[in-house]
Amino acid sequence: MTSQSNTPVDHAAVIAELKKIVGRRIEDQRLLQRMTQAKLAAKVGIGVRWLREIEMGGTRARLDDYLRCAHGVGLSSGQVFIPLLLLEHEKPIPSMFFIDHMHEIEGELIERFGPV
């Protein structure tokens, strides 16, 4: 896959940036909910140290770990994968990804594909 400028996309760099963004978002949501790291870690079935790694955007954690933690604080899959799409195409990530739950945008996207 190539970016808009026809230069190869550095997928490792894209994933690393995504992990930083999503890790911060998970931590922000957890703190807004006054949830401890221990409580979130137990909720999603990981250790507290591993959750710290995720919240710091650590590259060793897998994307499914980020997704489980995101769901654990009420974030949607779209808040993980839409930023990934934007990063791959070298587009800026709108601030709404950091302040909104985006349910309306996700609903429109799902509706666009029509009934199965």
Question: What pLDDT is stored for residue 64 in this prediction?
Answer: 94
102-114 pLDDT tens trace: 777 778 888 888 7
Do the domain assignments include residue 100?
yes
83: Cβ contacts below 8 Å, ≥ 6 apart: 18, 21, 22, 93, 97
Do the domain assignments include residue 38?
yes
Report the C-alpha gap between 73 and 26 in whole angstroms.
7
Model-level pTM? 0.82
**Is the model more confident about 90 or about 98?**
90
Do the domain assignments include residue 2?
no
Do the domain assignments include residue 28?
yes
Q: Which position has the token pair 């959750």?
A: 51
Assess contact for 48 and 38: CB atoms under 8 A.
Answer: yes
Do the domain assignments include residue 86?
yes
Where residue 97 sits, what CATH number does that domain have?
Answer: 1.10.260.40
* Domain span including residue 21: 11-112
Report whether pLDDT(66) > 50: yes
How does residue 93 score in pLDDT terms, banded at 50, 70 and 90?
confident
Query: CA-CA distances (angstroms) from residue 86 to 4, 14, 78, 83?
Result: 11, 10, 12, 5
Number of compact structural domains in the chain: 1
